[in-house]
Amino acid sequence: MKKTCLVLLGLLWCAALPAKNFELKSPDGRIALAIDVGERIAYTVRGDGIPLLEECRLGLRLDRGGTAGPLRLVRHRSGSIDRTFRPAVAYKFSEIRDRCNTLRLDFRGGWSVEFRAYDDGVALRRRPGKGLLAGLWEYPNELAGEETIPDALGLSPADLELVGTGRHIFTHIEWRMTAYTARTEGLALPEGWVWADREALAREYAVPNAFQAFSEYVKGKLGYFS
């Protein structure tokens, strides 16, 4: 009988550890993260109620080596950041604002995961699976004289702000580029495009060096610091 009781208590103890669910929103409330902590950490991102990323799972490897092992959430803390940096060398901006809401999850073993939700993001699209820079993510672009992207996003010429020019030389071709930026009211994007905040841009989406001429501008616009 004692063994039976111990087994039942063990089963009850295991059942008392359900998945933990959290929600984190950007300061303007338009970006929402749903975070689930169970056997793994998974998150979903929505913008204005539109799914942007669904059921993304974190693979964790600790700095001291090894994987995180079974997850045991110890505590969680919500917070916010609102600060302004003044770069030593002002590339495009004399001031960069770092503003977001945060959720920190502390786990047994002395390690933590922190989510940050920002208002701003940059649109990316994946290049075709064949040809130049196959399968890589890029800033949306098109040939001069074929300007269809603004119309697809509901933008007028007056909405576009000139960023600058750049060029990249491949072994057999040279790209000469003129970049514009615009702020959209809605978060819907054409099929195959994604929104990337500064964390996703740094860790999940590798933009080729062909667009390096504009990378500092994008980082400054998103308040990104490496």
Segment 211-223 shows an average pLDDT of 79
Q: CA-to-CA distance for 20 and 17, rounded, in angstroms?
A: 9
Segment 76-91 shows an average pLDDT of 76
Q: What pLDDT digit, counting tens, does each position of 10-51 carry? A: 333 334 346 789 999 988 888 888 999 988 888 888 877 877
Predicted pLDDT of residue 44: 87
Q: CA-to-CA distance for 203 and 119, rounded, in angstroms?
A: 18
- At residue 223, does pLDDT exceed 80? no
Predicted pLDDT of residue 87: 62
User: pTM here?
Assistant: 0.55
Which of 99-108, 134-143, 215-224 is predicted with the least confidence, judged by mean pLDDT? 215-224
Q: What pLDDT digit, counting tens, does each position of 84-131 carry? A: 777 665 555 566 677 889 999 998 888 888 888 888 777 888 888 888
Predicted pLDDT of residue 69: 66
DSSP assignment of 73-129 equals EEEEEEEEEEEEE--SS-SS-S-EEEEEEEEEEEETTTEEEEEEEES--EEEEEPPS
pLDDT category at 188 given cuts 50, 70, 90 is confident
Predicted pLDDT of residue 77: 93
